[in-house]
């Protein structure tokens, strides 16, 4: 177990220069300050569970009522395609020229099948309200965490002079506001990583899955190595764009619901 732990927490990989984990312990003891610790990441998992519960409550009692008030449909509709044989015939006629003999044969086949029932294929669709509520949750979180991040880093020295991101490293105390900033962000992305498999399936499913994995890895790396100063700046920049993307998704869901109403 000690060998595995030494391999995972290899100082040459995680830490800069001649810094060691013993330096972290010595600084905490001598300076009486709090530095980052890999064990702190254990807080993330119960936080992720709490965030998931908060999300369920938010979507049910806040997001969905808002969506209904905007006229977004909550029903799950289904698309019905035309008869597959007719569709294939139409595609074929558009893609390749046909002669008179082919036309006569097609008409004969159609006349023979005129008394048979037309087979249809139904494709399930997702409720626009479900998609809206998920986007609404992400928008709300991103907006709140962005505002929190701005408040946190606003009075930090490294926000105004990025050289302070590295001055004195690793002797850079971990403040409570930065600690919770990291823990909440990590917990949120862990919750997204698992909820993706039960959420509305979107076209960019695997792209977002890889995005969440990469984000978790980068956040964990920067926290363990105590690069939280530069990491906090990256988080603020990252979050400032995310809630705008969710606004776009919410608008798309609303427009999709309007199109469904028009097609009734």
CA distance 39 to 204: 33
CA distance 137 to 142: 9
Closest CA to 138 of 200, 180, 218, 76: 200
Q: Could you tell me where the DSSP H helices lie in the chain?
A: 2-8, 11-14, 21-31, 44-58, 64-69, 84-95, 100-112, 128-154, 157-160, 176-195, 205-224, 228-262
Q: What are phi and psi of 36, to 5 degrees?
A: -65, 150
231 within 8 A of 182, measured Cβ to Cβ: yes
Question: Taking all residues of the chain, what is their mean pLDDT, rounded to a whole number?
Answer: 80
Residue 138 pLDDT: 93
Tens digits of residue pLDDT in 128-173: 888 899 999 999 999 999 999 999 999 999 999 999 999 988 889 9
Give the residues of the chain that fall short of pLDDT 70. Answer: 1-2, 4-5, 7, 74-125, 248-264
3-state class of 33 per DSSP? Answer: coil
List CB contacts of 213: < 8 A, sequence separation 6 or more: 193
The DSSP annotation for 145-181 comes to HHHHHHHHHHT-HHHH-GGGGTTTTT-----HHHHHH
Tens digits of residue pLDDT in 207-224: 999 999 999 999 999 999
Q: Please, what is the end-to-end C-alpha distance for the chain in angstroms?
A: 64
CA distances from 15 to 11, 145, 170, 181, 214 (A): 5, 28, 9, 22, 19
Here the tokens at position 237 are 């920049």
């Amino acid at each position: 177990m000690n060998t595995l732990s030494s391999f995972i927490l290899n100082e040459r990989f995680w830490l800069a220069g001649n810094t060691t984990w013993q330096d972290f312990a010595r600084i905490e003891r001598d300076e009486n300050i709090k530095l980052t610790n890999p064990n702190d990441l254990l807080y993330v998992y119960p936080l992720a569970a709490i965030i998931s519960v908060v999300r369920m409550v938010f979507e049910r009692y806040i997001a969905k009522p808002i969506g209904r008030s905007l006229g977004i449909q909550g029903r799950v509709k289904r698309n019905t395609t035309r008869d597959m044989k007719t569709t294939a015939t139409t595609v074929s006629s558009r893609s390749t020229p046909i002669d008179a003999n082919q036309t006569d044969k097609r008409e004969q086949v159609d006349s023979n099948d005129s008394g048979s029932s037309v087979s249809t294929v139904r494709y399930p669709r997702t409720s626009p309200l479900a998609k809206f509520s998920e986007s609404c949750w992400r928008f709300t979180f991103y907006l709140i965490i962005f505002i929190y991040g701005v408040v946190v880093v606003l009075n930090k020295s490294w926000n105004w002079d990025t050289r302070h991101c590295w001055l004195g490293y690793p002797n850079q105390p971990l403040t409570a506001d930065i600690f919770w900033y990291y823990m909440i962000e990590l917990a949120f992305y862990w919750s997204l990583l698992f909820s993706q498999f039960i959420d509305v399936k979107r076209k960019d499913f695997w792209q977002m899955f890889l995005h969440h994995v990469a984000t978790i890895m980068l956040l964990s790396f920067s926290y363990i190595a105590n690069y939280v100063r530069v990491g906090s700046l990256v988080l603020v920049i990252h979050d400032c764009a995310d809630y705008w993307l969710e606004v776009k998704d919410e608008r798309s869901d609303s427009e999709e619901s309007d199109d469904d109403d028009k097609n009734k």
